[in-house]
Amino acid sequence: MALGFHIHGPSVDRETLISRAGGGTIPHTIRPTSRGGGTRIARRRSRRGSGHIYRRGAVYWFKFFDAGGKPHWRSSGSRERAVAEAMLRDQLGQRDRGGPALPDPRRIAVDTLLDNLLAEYRLNGRRSVGRADLSCRHLRRFFEGRVAGSVTGADVNRYADLRRQEKAASATVNRELAALRRAYRLAIRHGVLATMPSITMLHEDNVRTGFFDDKQVDAVCRKLSEERAAVVRFCYITGWRTHSEVFPLRWSEVDLKNGFARLEPGTTKNREGRVFPLTPALRALLEQRLEYTRRCERSQGRIIPHVFHRKGRSIKGMRRSWKTACQKAGLPGRLLHDLRRSAVRNLERAGVSRSVAMTMTGHKTESVYRRYAIVSESDLREAAMKLAAIASNGDSSSGLR
């Protein structure tokens, strides 16, 4: 007896079925029937469009096909069908725009976001890539292996608390949190993630108030080598940033004939060029450095491009020697950056207009410049003396008697 099949109608034999389904164009499934030991052909449920929504347990999932016809499955992570529908629309919109399928957020680790952040820093030639790399190393200690989408604001706060327990300063923790925040924002911009956790910065109470006067600068320079003392005096006059602007300064950027020192666009922190006129003290300093450089070039038989060097070797830093010199000069705890604040104060006291002074020192915003324009105790005493002079002269209009 021939085996019978049911295809929504009368029975047919196997040969007829195969001829009808030739090439696999009819999506049927052969299943045994409960009547007479036969089988029946059940048509698969068809799906319209390029994806559909379904549910696994209480959570809605969705399936879609990319531009190459490859199927993808994603969990919405929600019990709301509307959430899954919105995610499906995003995926289909990405495909229609010719883009690849958006990655599964459940498979994106925080490590991947941090790697992408460092790649972006290197690609754009950011000077702070070293600081960003240090921040990422600390972040990996806590978030290594964590799925980026599972990180919450509470996790970020726990990280900040642990770093503070390790005696890390609030400013240091904030630099690390800023790196994490930027990593998430880059992921959202690139379409890798849809959301990011709340990242709250810590309060910083690190406003610096230190500055130098001429006598204090002389005292510190006497405890330094001649090469490093020249760096200190140059910073005290110009207010330029030590590591990124003074140490790399080249002779091609010094114009002794016309009386200017300049920084080319792209070499400064704010990427803008800068020109500083040579004062008599600054000119004398640079002429001494030029004479020293020429002696080194003759003895070594090579060109020395940097202004500040020690026997032809460029100066990369002076943190330890600076700390020691300040202690010996009776000024412990002072920073190299205090020289920049001192230069701003000197420009203010000299009556240089704020717009010109900001151009000379490289301050881009007036708020930061005002923070550096610190009033010293000697300035306050001088103001008090002027008031006392008015009172002693009997100036009744002043109302100070």
| Token reading at 352 | 């240089």
Provide the pLDDT confidence category of residue 84 given band limits of 50, 70 and 90.
confident
**Residue 21 reports pLDDT greater than 60:** no
pLDDT digit string, tens, across residues 179-224:
999 999 999 888 788 788 999 999 876 556 678 889 999 999 999 9
Amino acid at 114: L
pLDDT digit string, tens, across residues 33-62:
555 555 554 444 444 457 889 999 998 988
Per-residue DSSP letters for 13-31? -HHHHHHHTGGG-S-EEEE
- CA nearest neighbour of 117 among 134, 137, 130, 136: 136
- 3-class state of residue 122 by DSSP: helix
- CA nearest neighbour of 217 among 378, 325, 377, 352: 325
User: What does pLDDT average to over the chain?
Assistant: 81
**Are the beta carbons of 61 and 76 closer than 8 angstroms?**
yes
Determine the pLDDT at residue 265.
77
Among 101-105, 183-187, 370-374, the range scoring the smallest mean pLDDT is: 370-374
C-alpha distances in angstroms, 149 versus 175, 188, 219, 292? 22, 11, 56, 59
**Residue 72 reports pLDDT greater than 70:** yes
Provide the pLDDT confidence category of residue 375 given band limits of 50, 70 and 90.
low
**Residue 289 reports pLDDT greater than 80:** yes
Report d(CA 234, CA 256) in Å as an integer: 15
Amino acid at 265: P
**Residue 266 reports pLDDT greater than 50:** yes
Among 123-132, 198-207, 357-366, the range with the most confident prediction by mean pLDDT is 123-132
Full-prediction pTM beyond 0.85? no
**Residue 125 reports pLDDT greater than 90:** no
Determine the pLDDT at residue 41.
47
**Are the beta carbons of 196 and 171 closer than 8 angstroms?**
no
Determine the pLDDT at residue 310.
92
Count how many Cα atoms sit within 13 Å of the Cα of residue 396 in the half-sphere of its side chain: 0
Secondary structure string (H, E, C) spanning 198-214: CCCCCCCCCCCCCCCCH
The CA radius of gyration of the chain, in Å to the nearest whole number, is: 36
Per-residue DSSP letters for 225-252? -HHHHHHHHHHHHH---IIIIITT-BGG
Q: Which of the two residues, 362 and 151, has the higher pLDDT score?
A: 151
Report d(CA 370, CA 342) in Å as an integer: 13
Q: Which helix (H) or strand (E) segment is 119 a member of?
A: helix 110-123
Torsion on CA atoms 297, 300, 305, 307, rounded to nearest 10: -60
Determine the pLDDT at residue 377.
59
